[in-house]
Structures are given as structure tokens and as C-alpha cells.
Structure 1
Amino acid sequence: MVLDTDKFHWFLVICWALWNRRCKKLAERESDDSLQLIDKTRQYFATFKEANEKQAKSSGVSQNAQWNPPSTGKIKINFDGATFKDPIGAGDGLIARDHNGHCGAWNHKFATSINEASMLKLWHFECQ
């Protein structure tokens, strides 16, 4: 079975929401109830879809980014950040890969503001 892009993105958003709920429950001993989770997931997906549609419309030039591996025996860490409409705010992530492209570590954080996201990026850098 092959999913179209929208269904695949919806699947990823659901997986992220469930994982995020689990982490929140473990860390804070509380989480949204099922109906709140469904509502937040729908809102996040709508925001995600709208942002990607705007980006596709505004980007007249196709950009093919290509990952270049580090030297043998080295690890390359890539960072990225983004801002979103409410309810998320902003976030960043990182992935560490070796010269073969194998993922050694990854992490992501969501923030309620760009300033908080900048602090998270610094925190990621210091933790390495």
C-alpha cells in the first residue's frame, strides 16, 4: 500500500503527537485527554499543510539540497529550525551522521517563541 503525500504527512503528525504526548506524560505526569490530543493534532496538521502550501507557492525556484558526508571517522551534525503559527511557536532539531550516512543521534525541541528556540539551539550545541 502506497500513501499519497497528504496521508503520509497526516500519519507522521499523528505519530509525532502520540510520541509527544507520551514524553509529556513521562516528564510532567500529565497530558491532554484523547479529544484534546485529536484537536491539537488536527490544528497542527492544518498549520503544517498551510505552511507547506505557502512555501510551494512562494518558491519559484526548485532547490535540491544535498547532504555531503563528513570525512571517514568524523561525525557531521546538522541543525535546522522553524517557526510555526500557534499553538506550537517554534522549534529546532538536529541529526548526527557518520561518513556512511548512518544516524548516530537525533533530537528535536519545540518552543513557544523564537527566543526560546534560539536558546534550545545553544543548549543542543553545548550538549554535544
Structure 2
Amino acid sequence: MDKLILSDAEWRARLTPEQYQVLRGHGTEPPGTGCFLGTHEPGTYVCAGCGNPLFRSGEKFESGTGWPSFTRPVSPDAVVEVHDRSYGMRRTEVRCARCDGHLGHVFPDGPPPTGLRYCMNSAAMRHVAEGAPLDPPGAG
């Protein structure tokens, strides 16, 4: 997969202020506020920054945490996991493998079959309805 590398000015022009704050500033939207929290429509969640497919709707579950949660990414190479020691915590950050945008964190307290909870920010993703063409990477 080709990496998407843009300048800060290009990212700011491409993203909404909220998307920029989450994807490029490693921010977190307040719990319970994300537009995809209660979404159950079939489809694929793609990176809002670059269009990279991230999660399928069939892997989404209600975690009760206030953020959309998934049991696994579309493929192992769709995301990158990075050790995060910010704010005095030990967590695993999840980033888009194509544009390195911050998506959220993964925790080992999810349901079977993976036991993982990919806790994502709605602002970091777009939902593409089942049957609709996925944008080519970079079209985010």
C-alpha cells in the first residue's frame, strides 16, 4: 500500500476541523458524541483522511464505552498499532496504515472471537454503504 504523505496545510484543507484534531492531532471526541456510535447500516468504515478501508460493519458491536467499537480491522495491514504512553496510561493506539491518521485505541476486553475492542473515533472515519463503490485510496 502506498503511503499518503501531505503537508500540514494540505491536511487542514482536506479535513474538517474536528477530523483534523482527531486524525492529525491525535485527539479524542467526547464519549457518546460520535455520529457512528449507534450506526448499524451494512457497509465499510474507511479512513476520513485517505479512504483506506478500515472496518466492516459486521465487526461492529455495542461496547457501552461511548465510541464505535469493532472486533477486528478489514485486514491486518489496514491499521498500525503503536504503543501509547500519553497521559500516564499504557495503551495501544490504532492508526491508519496508509496516512498514519489517529483512529483510536485497541483494548483486550472485547467479545469473541478476537477478545479485542477497537475503540474508534467517528470523526476519523466515513461509512460507505454496502454495495457502494469504495473511493480509491486517497479520495478521502
TM-score range, shorter chain: under 0.3
TM-score, structure 1 as length reference: 0.23
TM-score by length of 2: 0.22
- Greater gyration radius: 1
- Structure with higher helix content: 1
More strand by share: 2
